[in-house]
């Protein structure tokens, strides 16, 4: 593993730690929607989904940073990158629905894809399609 690959892991982890913390903090900061359905935000996304997305982003970022675990490092990085890529695509679709710029989300997706491509040869064979 080159130092550039490790640097990309650190950058990706730092970015998604910040994004995940922002999601969690905005969950508590946003007022609850008025009306019969208290569990939904005005644009239709469940409030608890924001908390779950933030927690998943933080867990995936920590999987990139922590060098020990039940799986080899390459497997953890691959799973974390795939999880972050899926969350980023979901976030991009949500931004398109709400007519918000998708550019920051696209940059995050590229960051996770670069991380995945950089580790492609080190991933286990069951990652290959």
Token pair in block for residue 50: 């924001």
pLDDT tens column, 3-18 = 877 888 899 999 999 9
Q: Break the chain into its structural domains and give their ranges.
A: 3-127
Q: What is the pTM of this model?
A: 0.77
Q: Cα-flanking dihedrals φ and ψ of residue 30, to 5°? A: -70, 135
Out of 5-19, 27-41, 48-62, 113-127, least confident range: 27-41
pLDDT tens column, 41-91 = 445 567 778 888 889 999 999 988 887 777 777 778 888 888 999 999 988
The candidate with the shortest Cα–Cα distance to 5, out of 129, 89, 121, 86, is 121
């Amino acid at each position: 593993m080159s130092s550039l690959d490790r640097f990309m892991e650190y950058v990706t982890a730092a970015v998604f730690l910040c994004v995940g913390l922002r999601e969690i903090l905005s969950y508590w900061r946003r007022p609850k929607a008025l009306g019969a359905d208290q569990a939904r935000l005005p644009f239709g996304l469940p409030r608890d989904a924001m908390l779950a997305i933030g927690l998943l982003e933080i867990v995936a970022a920590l999987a990139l940073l922590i060098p020990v675990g039940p799986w080899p490092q390459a497997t953890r990085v691959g799973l974390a990158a795939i999880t972050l890529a899926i969350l980023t695509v979901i976030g991009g679709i949500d931004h398109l629905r709400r007519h918000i710029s998708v550019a920051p989300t696209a940059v995050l997706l590229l960051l996770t894809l670069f991380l995945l491509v950089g580790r492609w040869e080190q991933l286990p064979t069951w990652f290959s399609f």
